[in-house]
Amino acid sequence: MKMRRKINFTGRVQGVGFRLNTKEAVRDIKVTGYVKNLSDGTVELLLEGEKGDLSRAQKAVEEKMMGYWTKREWMDLPTDPHWKEFFIRY
């Protein structure tokens, strides 16, 4: 079943290549969605795909950016797949 997972990362997550590294981390995982800097200094990651792929993508990003994020919050949501690729949103 396709799902949507929204994850917000807090910490030193802007100005450190978080978005580019996130795109690289999820490149080989079957997910779509985006990563975006928010005005409050956090980074929003929105993933769509199978639940197992969402978990793999989240773990890949968390491991790749370990030391930059201090907190992350996420929620799973039902979805109609919206995106055809994963991209950096500006």
Identified catalytic residue from 4, 19, 56, 72: 19
Indicate if 37 belongs to the active site: yes
SS3 82: coil
> Could you tell me which residues come within 8 angstroms of residue 12 by beta carbon, excluding any fewer than 6 positions away?
68, 69, 70
Indicate if 21 belongs to the active site: no
d(CA 72, CA 83): 23
Residues identified as active-site: 19, 37
